[in-house]
Amino acid sequence: MTGAPTDVDAVVVGAGFAGLYAHHRLRALGLTISGFEAAADVGGTWWWNRYPGARCDVESMDYCYSFSPELEQEWTWSERYATQPEILRYLNHVADRFDLRRDIRFDTRVTAATWDEASQRWDIATDRGDRVSAQFCIMATGCLSQAKQPEVDGIDTFGGDIFHTGRWPHEGVDFTGRRVGAIGTGSSGIQSIPIIAGQAEHLTVFQRTPNFTMPAKNAPLDPDAVAARKARAREIREAMRSSRAGVIVPMPEHSALAVDDGARQAHYEKAWNTGTLYGMVAAFNDLLVDRDANDTAAEYVRDRIREIVNDPDVAERLSPRNHPFGTKRPCLDTDYYATFNRDDVTLVDVRATPIVAITPTGIRTTADDFELDAIVFATGFDAMTGPLLGPDITGVGGVKLRDKWAAGPRTYLGIATAGFPNFFIVTGPGSPSVLVNMAVAIEHHVDWIAECIAYLRDRGLASIDATLEAEDAWVDHVNQVADLTLFPQANSWYMGANVPGKPRVFMPYIGGFPRYDEVCRGVAADDYRGFELTPATAPEPAPST
């Protein structure tokens, strides 16, 4: 499509959890919408990440939409932690049920968005030549959608197959009889390694940073428990929205240092056996703010590793010591540590003997050459800012988002950024986003954006733009809250530390979901305090004769 741009009220970029719900909400307001999605269909994260073992780590019954009580009643999850295919089936079901595909152009990447001051509209361009003019631009582009390759020489020279967990082939991969190397031991590596090990002739895991992971205790869901949950669905959803992490977690009352060793161990054992992410993280009230308290949790996990892994040297190499417990996203696993008891699995510590290059036949470290038939990169994402800085986004006065964010992202509430009017980010940097159940965070943001757009339209306003003062104050607050915690001590993707050259800034808002929700509601109730609202330009009066 070339020539004059098509006019719509809103462009929605992305068709994962966020984009799909944005279509639903904006359509209900009567807006005309153009949607674009780089993938061939809906699903976002769950369309791209098809690696073996991919599943959610927030319980399925919590990790889904709440906006439709009917949907909630008619959909039944089969496992405590649903697999990628099941979550993708769910998102397809949602797309069909609410007819959400009709305005989406798939296999199409937005490459540029330019604010036109004269018309007070966004001019949006894609890699397939589309041009769309829209009053509103909604970036539902995901926090973890831009896959990151490892920074290693020689990738193109490898004679075998290379896969990235975040770009997994749809037809699946059979590793039977193959010598496989896996780089990366974050959540994606930890989920896929036990399954790849079960297939491959030999698996070599190249680990740079050991991670904390806890048993998922995944199981089929009991139909009676599902029925009981459905009967209380609305009440539970309310409770989730007023809980710190968007899932119901008992709020701990005690410091880990206020109880004796026996009581502390017993408490950790109970938390470990919940099979939830938040069980251990929220076992005591000071694990994320006090290093001594944190060390007790870290040591508990290291004890479990020593208990599970037969070879003490391997157990030690698997034991995280470089970051406080919980300050890199912890993982949930099925048999991860036990996988290293297999004779056909080797652990290589690439901090001790770094990877030098990928060669035509495998991986070379400073100590050895490993002959491989296939390599799996479980090396993560250019998180949170990557998908927003990929397209060329230009705001008021020709300012580029890339330049504005050169020293790190700056937003007001994680939803808007000053100088980019009518530009909304779903779960952007500066919002709780990746620190909470994202299904809750996404619905919360899309609801806020839809209500804001309705407000503007009801009053005939052309645009809304965050003020620099409000943005600066919010960025300061986000940083101050982060600095009260241990999070900045970890070289995590939350800090941008996994991408060479990326500014080190703690990107999500860690003040908790209820506090954040209260601020967002307050801003809206106060006629969008901290934003500048611009009326539509009155039409030129007709010349008098």
> Binding residues for ligand FAD, per CB under 6 A?
13-14, 16-19, 36-39, 44-45, 47, 49, 54, 56-58, 63, 109-110, 140-145, 188, 387, 390-391, 426-427, 437-438, 442
Distance CA 300, CA 213 (A): 12
Distances (CA, A) of 130 to 104, 105, 115, 500: 12, 10, 16, 33
Q: Candidates 56, 425, 441, 510: give the one binding ligand NAP (CB under 6 A).
A: 56
Which one, 60 or 417, has the nearer CB to ligand NAP? 60
Min CB(473)–ligand NAP separation in Å: 28
Which one, 183 or 314, has the nearer CB to ligand FAD? 183
33's enclosing H/E stretch is: strand 33-36
Q: Candidates 24, 164, 329, 502: give the one binding ligand NAP (CB under 6 A).
A: 329
Q: Which does 135 bind (CB under 5 to 8 A by kind): ligand NAP, ligand FAD, none?
A: none
Strand partners of residue 131 = 125
Our finding on whether 493 is near ligand NAP (CB under 6 A) is: yes
| Largest Cα–Cα separation, the chain | 95
Distance CA 363, CA 370 (A): 5
Min CB(191)–ligand FAD separation in Å: 8
Q: Scanning residues 187 to 226, which ones bind ligand NAP (CB under 6 A)? A: 187-189, 191, 208-209
Q: Which does 391 bind (CB under 5 to 8 A by kind): ligand FAD, ligand NAP, none?
A: ligand FAD
Min CB(200)–ligand FAD separation in Å: 21
Identify the burial level of 253 via C-beta atoms within 10 angstroms of its C-beta, where 0-12 means exposed, 13-18 middle and 19 or more buried: exposed
Which residue lies nearest ligand NAP, judged by its C-beta?
186
Distance CA 11, CA 188 (A): 31
3-state SS string over 207-250?
ECCCCCEEECCCCECCHHHHHHHHHCHHHHHHHHHCCCCCCCCC
Identify the burial level of 79 via C-beta atoms within 10 angstroms of its C-beta, where 0-12 means exposed, 13-18 middle and 19 or more buried: middle
CB 74 within 8 A of CB 233: no
Q: Which does 189 bind (CB under 5 to 8 A by kind): ligand FAD, ligand NAP, none?
A: ligand NAP
Q: Candidates 305, 350, 384, 510: give the one binding ligand NAP (CB under 6 A).
A: 350
Strand partners of residue 110 = 126
Which one, 49 or 422, has the nearer CB to ligand NAP? 49
Which one, 123 or 382, has the nearer CB to ligand NAP? 382
Q: Which positions lie near ligand NAP, rule CB under 6 A?
A: 56-57, 144, 150-152, 165, 183-189, 191, 208-209, 329, 331-332, 350, 355, 378-381, 434, 493, 498
